[in-house]
Amino acid sequence: AHVDPTALTRSSTDTNHPRPSYNDTTKLSSNNWTFNKTLSNLIRKNILRFLDPERDISILKGTLKPGDIIHYVFDRHSTTNISENLYRLLPTVSPMKNQHHRRCAIVGNSGILLNSSCGPEIDSHDFVIRCNLAPVEEYSRDVGWRTNLVTMNPSVVQRAFQDLVSEEWRDRFLQRLRSLSGSVLWIPAFMAKGGEERVEWALRLILLHTVDVRTAFPSLRLLHAVRGYWLTNNVHIKRPTTGLLMYTMATRFCEEIHLYGFWPFPLDPQGKPVKYHYYDTLKYEYTSSSSPHTMPLEFRTLSTLHRQGALRLHTGTCD
Ligand code: CTP
């Protein structure tokens, strides 16, 4: 079948609601979804024209040395140095080298997951990706607990772990890192200035306690390449969210991609309130026009891809 790649998302660029809400363009059918392998292969091929997720998922050791100066991706005029600790934790080969999985789950952090009972279904995937060290233990019924790759924006150390101000918070953070046993910890350390110390604290703890995680630090070109791919497909995102970045990269390693916890709207399809995150009290400031993200636009794009069978968005309950 001939598939026009630009048709994928054309319909998702037309609206710009002042207050994002659930509407017809986001209506999802879940019963009659079938996987569209042809389209999924085509998307993978097109994404590979812009980036190679196997390579861009992390800078490798051979390419840098301690003391090297890096310009932040979004704050080009600010720089940071490669610390000894960061150098030690750079992988020598891509943590995703030769990895291919049949079914992957990407778990976003929306409150839509609460009371979903989706935990066991999420955990049944071959590879599970989570975002920003979101807690799993207390929520496992709804979000599962298995984790093969988890992201950690430097701001998480502040937002979820109180900047490690006390022994208690350092301990909690360490426990969370320890619970990742063997998975990839993906740290976008060079995106925006301001997180340098937080990254350093995290790395120091990992080294000091020989925490069993495989650290990865995205390449400096990743963000622009991902944005370039979506712009070429007529999706005018300002700055891709972690969730969209993960989907874009996962196309390289996964056959079928299932998304959970993607719902950037304050109300569910039935009109009931939805928390921004399933685990904290953060509000919907991100959907304001000052936000660097364009989550509702991303969501409409993902919905279109869902309807076409390229990915599957799960927004209901799993019982
Ligand atoms: N997400 C969503 N709807 C929400 C919250 C999150 O669809 N209500 C998805 C987004 O793709 C997001 C991902 O889940 O990237 C992870 O959520 P979060 O940790 O809030 O990520 P970001 O907003 O990307 O992180 P940051 O604010 O640090 O950029």
Cα–ligand 1 centroid distance for 262 (angstroms): 8
In short, whether 109's Cβ falls inside 6 Å of ligand 1 is: yes
Instruction: Answer yes or no: is the C-beta of 304 below 6 A from any ligand 1 atom.
Output: no
Q: Among residues 255, 216, 190, 199, which one has the least CA distance to residue 54?
A: 216
> Which atom of ligand 1 lies closest to the CA of 243?
11
Report the C-alpha gap between 119 and 136 in whole angstroms.
Answer: 9
Ligand 1 atom at minimum distance from 153 CA: 28
pLDDT tens profile 91-145: 999 999 999 999 999 999 999 999 999 999 999 999 999 999 999 999 999 999 9
- 259 CB near ligand 1 (under 6 Å): no
Distance 241 CA to ligand 1 centre (A): 6
Ligand 1: nearest atom to the Cα of 282: 20
Are the C-beta atoms of residues 222 and 275 closer than 8 Å to each other? no
Does the ipTM surpass 0.95? yes
pLDDT of amino acid 144: 98
**Residues with active-site annotation:** 293
**Distance between CA 41 and CA 127 in Å, rounded?**
18
> Ligand 1, residues 191, 241, 313: which to mutate, most atoms within 8 A of Cβ?
241
Confidence at residue 283, expressed as pLDDT on a 0 to 100 scale: 84
Residues 155-176 pLDDT 10s: 999 999 999 999 999 999 999 9
| Residue 241 near ligand 1, beta carbon < 6 Å | yes
Confidence check: pLDDT of 6 > 50 = no
pLDDT confidence tier of residue 27, bands split at 50, 70 and 90 = low
Long-range contacts formed by 78-86: CB under 8 A, 24+ apart: 78/193, 80/189, 80/190, 80/193, 80/196, 83/200, 83/203, 85/200, 85/203, 85/204, 85/207, 86/189, 86/199, 86/200, 86/203, 86/217
Tell me, in angstroms, the distance from the centre of ligand 1 to residue 226's CA: 16
- As a whole number of angstroms, the distance between CA 159 and CA 192 comes to 16
Is the C-beta atom of 22 inside 6 A of ligand 1?
Answer: no
